[in-house]
Structure 1
Amino acid sequence: MDFSNPKLLFFSPLLAIVLHELVLRRVEVDHLAIPIIVTTWFAYAILAFQADLVTASLVAASFWVPLWLYIGAYRTIFHPLRNYPGPFFARISKWWVVKQNWDTNLHFHRAQQRLQKEYGDYVRTGPRELTIFDVDAIPALLGSQSKASKGPLFDILETSLHLNRDKQFHRQRRRIWDNAFKATLSDYAVKIDEFTAQLLTRLRDQAGSPVPLLETMTFFSYDVMADLAFGKPFGFIKGEQSDVAASILKAMTGSLAAFGLLQHVSWFMNTLEKATFFLGPMKEWSNWSVSQMQKRMAVKDAKSDLVSHLIANTSNDNAGRALLYGESRLIVSAGGETTSTALTFIFMHLATHPKYIYALRKEFRANEALYSCQRPLPLIDAIINESMRMWPSVFFPSQRITPPEGLTVQGHFIPGDMIVQIPPFALHRDPRHFVRPEEFVPERWLDRPELVLRKEAFIPFATGPYNCAGKGLAMMELRSVVSRVVNEFDVKVLEGFDEREYWEGIKDHFTAGAPRVDVRFVGVNE
């Protein structure tokens, strides 16, 4: 074949247009990035070998440049979402969001609020993406009867309850998780209080010295989750962690900033996930979790707990074992990270609003004889709710894909196969939903119900069939730690602490990225 033939340079742009019309417009390619990249470079290498680099580059340019121009024209002028308002460059590429993340120093949750003010409740934030700030859209998009399915960010390497897009699989697996929690949560309350006791010992040993708050809460939450997943903790609270455990925690928490920067570009995240899962620091986490789960599966007559129920209801074959490995990592990483930030924010709110410490202490002591971290108490639950309203542990709006026939949401028709998302941070801070939304007012959940205008806008654990399976466990952890710590300690910020700077320093890492700050836990007299 004569690669220098001008006909080839004419054929390439034609092929690009055909590819877009017959494939790219009709097939979700987010999970196909690696095959596309490999195929492209392979074709370029063959062309360069058969002809020369100049010819190969000309042919590649005659394909890619028209393709990019055609895609740009389609997305801005002819796309089904063309009539929805939004920033111009967001129509062309999701890399616009990456730039916003970079420009705002990972404060895209605040950028979303500005988008709402400028463009309204339905904003085009990507080539085929709508960000929706309308609380009345929640049932249609996230509710139990919603026809929408999970978005491409959930389509990564491994399968678990959370990381899959198969509705039937999720429904069946979620039933197993719910039954397991129902059967074991009461027994695990004792275990949570044991870890809280270890945390109290650690704080007593600090004797009022400055304590790195986020790190300390991370040690607690990851120990609890490792024990839940593998039957034994990492040993962080007692300072008995292995070098491997320390390396794993560093890898997981250290990668959050990069994840926060790129989280909205699904195809890139899927590619990065696959690469780091087989190479780099996350490989150690993968290998270690597999070894721990294998040990857990080998235990005869194991105690009845969450994982024993999962093992008993999972096929003992390659697919079943891979599912258990993935879910063990889900338990530790998802549960550990979200609980640690929730605890951190609660204690920072208490440290800056000390009147609630005294009130909490009074409530705890009045109910101490009947204490159980499973048992809701008005003030502790109100403080937890208010802290999570202001700072939900997960900032990322859970992606959904509209069904092929499309959806009509509050009079807005959204075409089929579009990504839709509702950001919880913006929802929680909307004055249409909460009076004085920027203020920490736990009373809104107690005796000031008039401060909650739309309770359905409060979704810190998500909502619908994909809501957090571990909500009950998380609430037990939060009640146990906060109630018992404030029973023994006042929480004090250090001299020179700038409250406004702290809250403005929280970043969007998919989860909420709490700034590192020291506080003092000062013992109180009985």
Structure 2
Amino acid sequence: MAPLTMAVLLQPLLLAIALHELVLRRVEVDHLVLHGIAIYTAGFWILVQCIGFSDAFCLSVGFWSSLSIWTLLYRALWHPLKRFPGPFGAKLTKWWTTKKTWTTQWHMHRVHQAMHEKYGDYVRTGPREISIYDPAAIAPILGLSSKSPKGPFYDIMEDTLHMTRNQTFHKQRRRVWDNAMKSSLSHYAPRIEEFTDQFVTRLRNANGEPVQLLKCCSHYSYDVMSDLAFGKPMGFIKGEQSDVAESILKTLSDGLDAMGLIYHIPWFMNAISVLTSVAGPLKAWRDWSVLNMNERLALKSTRSDLVEHLIQNTPQTPEGKELLYGESRLIISAGSETTATALTFILVQLATHPSVMRSVRKEYRESKATYSCQRALPLLDAVVHESLRLWPSLFFLGQRVTPPEGVRIGSTFIPGNTIVQIQPFVINRDPRNFLDPDEFIPERWTTRPDLVINKDAFIPFSTGPYDCVGKRLAYMEMRSVIARIVDEFDIHLPDGFIQEDYWKKVKDHITAAAPPSQEMMFLKVVE
């Protein structure tokens, strides 16, 4: 019986090693977690029927223990990335990043800045992940000629322009979006100004009382994007939003902390997204977007807006409708939080740099006769650029996966099938790219070009084939809001406001998050 018992006990070890070497090392399984759980559950049940629960449980423990130990040994000792420096825990598991996010209170951007200073330009931040702080990597990783497709994070939701890894589909759909943006934004500019009128009226009606800066900016951006997605706003700026719209905004806002924790673990996000699509707040969000898009599809619109172009260039099939449903959610979720955060940070910068605010006001007033939110105003755009450089709406650009043959960047070779991420927050504060990198100096984009050493390092909207399709719209919104506010108001922050403390409290979720406890501002009407 002894040899037979030993052979049985060895089977879980051998099976675990075979699974790791033949499958887990060679196949990306992040999107197959629920499939794996189902297969394991079925196998365990069959084993219980054959040998009983106790023996099946012991074999199961042996299998998972063996797989875990072998995986950790491989990642620590034999992995192709073993020569790259980085925290030891990060080399073993991405749960290290989740724990670090929690213990630093969602300040991983600062952790990455410290890792760059300690380990250099290429740091191993996961079992098969490298974080890159070298600006020379931007073109080969993100550029038009890059051979690095999107990473497993983009498997977590339905296929849309943004959340797809299918390069052929993306190229075809991107052409539709680019044409839609090109033909519709000029017609949409007056609509943006209408929302800005409502926004300024709301601020004016505060009569000098403090207003919640981030909340106001969020209401503005959600109204603009819902109007863009469905042909009607949510009604937040005017205070006419429905209870459903209020709950949708609360769901999206309240979920950001959780998203910031699990963003770094795509396989977990993938499993959670499948489960939450069946019930819960995210299902309500999906149902609401479907209802509104169906109403938009039934509307015989003559508006030349973005969604009209998307509808006209999408097959009227069940698959086509699902694509439109997903892209309506994309328009709102991707375009609202990012713009609201950017607006909030710009207004804080102006409040803490009153001389810059007065200069922007002077520039706007002198150009009122020809002003359009579609056209740049040099100093206004410089303020926007400088704020985005210091505090981009996305601290981490999307994952890419190196091609099988790997990528060489200068003297550094990154093996194939490695997840890579470029960190704008760190790159933008690197003195190799910008002099006085931690200082807010809008003139570096106008009269002080000597302060910009490497302009190509400035990529707040990413770059290449996957850059932000809505960046022109975002600039239109920011120009419109900032110009109109500084034209009418002096911006003041509360007594006791400490600028350094405010910026230290900015969190990184999937998007940057302004400190909600210090979001009040006072507006004084100016002549």
Report the TM-score range of the alignment, normalised by the length of the smaller protein: over 0.9
Q: Is the 8 A contact 2:12 2:59 kept in 1?
A: yes
Amino acid at match of 1:278: V
CA 1:142–1:5 in structure 2 vs 1: closer, same or farther (change >3 Å)? same
SS of corresponding position for 1:149: coil
- Give the structure 2 partner of residue 350 of structure 1: 350
Q: Say if 2:524 is the partner of 1:523.
A: yes
Match of 1:465 in 2: 465
Q: What corresponds to 2:69 in structure 1? A: 69
Amino acid of the structure 1 residue aligned with 2:322: A
Structure 1 residue aligned with 2:108: 108
State whether structure 2 residue 382 is matched by structure 1 residue 369.
Answer: no
Partner letter of residue 521 of structure 2? R
User: Residue 400 in 1 paired to residue 400 in 2?
Assistant: yes
Whole-angstrom distance in 2 between the partners of 1:110 and 1:91: 19
Question: Which residue of 1 is the match for residue 203 of structure 2?
Answer: 203
The letter of the residue matching 2:520 is V
- 1:278-357 to structure 2, matched below 5 A, reads 278-357=278-357
CA contact 1:9–1:58 (8 Å) conserved in 2:
no
Task: Map Cα deviations across residues 113-169 of structure 1 (whole Å, 9 max, x no partner).
Answer: 111111110111111111111101111100000000000001123010000011111
C-alpha contact (below 8 Å) 1:221/1:340 kept by paired residues: yes
Maintained 8 Å contact 1:489/1:521: no
The residue type paired with residue 319 of structure 2 is: A
Tell me what 1:452 maps to: 452
Letter in 2 for 1:523: K
Amino acid paired to 1:400: R
Distance in structure 2 (CA, Å) of the matches to 1:179 and 1:518: 38
Q: Cα offset for 1:278?
A: 2.0
Contact kept? 2:225, 2:335, Cα under 8 Å: yes
Question: Which residue type is aligned with residue 422 of structure 1?
Answer: I
Report the more deviating stretch, 4-13 or 20-29.
Answer: 4-13
Shift of 1:100: 1.2
> 1:492 maps to which residue?
492
Residue 228 of structure 1: aligned partner = 228
Q: Is the 8 A contact 1:210 1:518 kept in 2?
A: no
In structure 1, what is the Cα distance between the partners aligned to 2:241 and 2:329? 18
Report the counterpart of residue 120 of structure 2 in structure 1. Answer: 120
Taking the aligned partners of 1:132 and 1:170, their CA distance within structure 2 comes to 25
- Taking the aligned partners of 1:258 and 1:49, their CA distance within structure 2 comes to 39
Report the aligned-residue RMSD.
1.2
Q: State the SS of the aligned residue for 2:420.
A: strand
Aligned residue for 1:28? 28
1:50 Cα offset (Å): 4.3
1:103 CA drift (Å): 1.6
1:243 paired to 2:240: no
Gapped runs of 5+ residues in structure 2?
Answer: none
Residue equivalent to 1:169: 169
* 1:124-139 alignment, distance < 5 Å: 124-139=124-139
- Normalising by structure 1, report the TM-score: 0.97
CA distance in 1, matches of 2:279, 2:439: 44
Matched to 1:222, the amino acid is: Y
- Equivalents in 2 of 1:410, 1:34: separation in Å? 40
Query: Is residue 208–residue 522 contact of structure 2 (8 Å, CA) maintained in 1?
Result: yes
Amino acid corresponding to residue 524 of structure 2 in structure 1: G
Q: Shift of the alpha carbon at 1:279?
A: 1.8
- Partner of 1:278: helix, strand, or coil? coil
In structure 2, the residue matched to 1:11 is 11
Deviation at 1:343, TM superposition (A): 0.2
Quick one: which amino acid aligns to residue 229 of structure 1? A
SS in structure 1 opposite 2:277? helix
Shift, 1:409, TM fit: 1.6
Aligned mates of 1:518, 1:146 — CA distance in 2: 40
Instruction: Name the CA distance, whole Å, in 2 between partners of 1:443 and 1:69.
Output: 55
The alpha-carbon deviation at position 45 of structure 1 amounts to 3.5
One-letter identity of the residue aligned with 2:497: F
Contact residue 160 and residue 323 of structure 2 kept, 8 A:
yes
Secondary structure in structure 1 of the residue aligned to 2:90? helix
The answer to whether the 8 A contact 2:489-2:526 is kept is no
Per-residue CA deviations over 1:92-127 (Å, capped at 9, x if unaligned) read 111111111112111000000111111110111111
2: CA distance, partners of 1:130 / 1:518: 35
The whole-number CA distance in structure 2 between the counterparts of 1:326 and 1:452 is: 39
Note if contact 2:210-2:523 (Cα within 8 Å) is conserved in structure 1: no
**Aligned equivalents of 2:423, 2:519: Cα separation in 1:** 30
SS, match of residue 211 in structure 2: strand
AA in 2 matched with 1:413? F
| Structure 1 counterpart of 2:227, one-letter code | D
One-letter code of the match for 1:439? E
Contact 2:491 2:524 in 1 (8 A): no
Opposite residue 263 of structure 2, the aligned amino acid is Q
Q: Distance in 2 between matches of 1:301 and 1:285?
A: 24
CA distance in 2, matches of 1:523, 1:89: 51
Q: Which residue of 1 aligns with 2:410?
A: 410
Which deviates more from structure 2 when the two are superposed, residues 352-361 or residues 137-146? 352-361
Find out whether 1:435 has 2:432 as its counterpart. Answer: no
- Check whether the contact 1:106–1:507 (CA below 8 A) recurs between aligned residues: yes
- Verify the 8 A CA contact 1:398 1:423 in the aligned structure 2: no
Q: Sequence identity of aligned pairs in percent? A: 54
Q: CA deviation at 1:433?
A: 0.6
C-alpha displacement of 1:413: 1.6
Conserved 8 A contact 2:229-2:332: yes
Distance 2:74 2:520 in 1: 54
Distance in 2, matches of 1:369 and 1:129, equals: 52
Matched, 1:147 2:147: yes
User: What corresponds to 1:187 in structure 2?
Assistant: 187
C-alpha distance in 2 between matches for 1:5 and 1:293: 62
Residue 264 of structure 1 is matched in structure 2 by 264
Cα deviation, residue 524, structure 1: 2.6
Deviates more, 1:483-492 or 1:42-51: 42-51
Question: In 2, distance between residues paired with 1:244 and 1:252?
Answer: 12
Aligned-residue offset at 1:452? 0.6
Residue 178 of structure 1 and its aligned partner are, at CA, apart by: 0.6
Deviation for aligned residue 1:329: 0.3
Partner of 1:219: 219
Which residue pairs with 2:275 in the alignment?
A: 275
Q: 1:441: Cα distance to partner?
A: 0.8
Q: Give the AA of the match of 2:235.
A: G
Query: In structure 2, the residue corresponding to 1:206 is in which secondary structure?
Result: coil
Q: CA deviation at 1:406?
A: 1.4
Q: Contact (CA 8 Å) 2:143, 2:464: kept in 1 or not?
A: yes
Contact 2:493 2:522 in 1 (8 A): no
Amino acid at match of 2:339: T
Deviation at 1:6, TM superposition (A): 4.8
> Aligned equivalents of 1:254 and 1:330: distance in 2?
18
State the SS of the aligned residue for 1:160.
Answer: coil
Cα deviation per residue 1:22-55 (whole Å; 9 max; x = unaligned)?
1001000110111112222333334335444322
Structure 1 residue 455: Cα displacement = 0.6
Residue equivalent to 1:56: 56
Letter in 2 for 1:139: A
3-state SS, counterpart of residue 205 of structure 2: helix
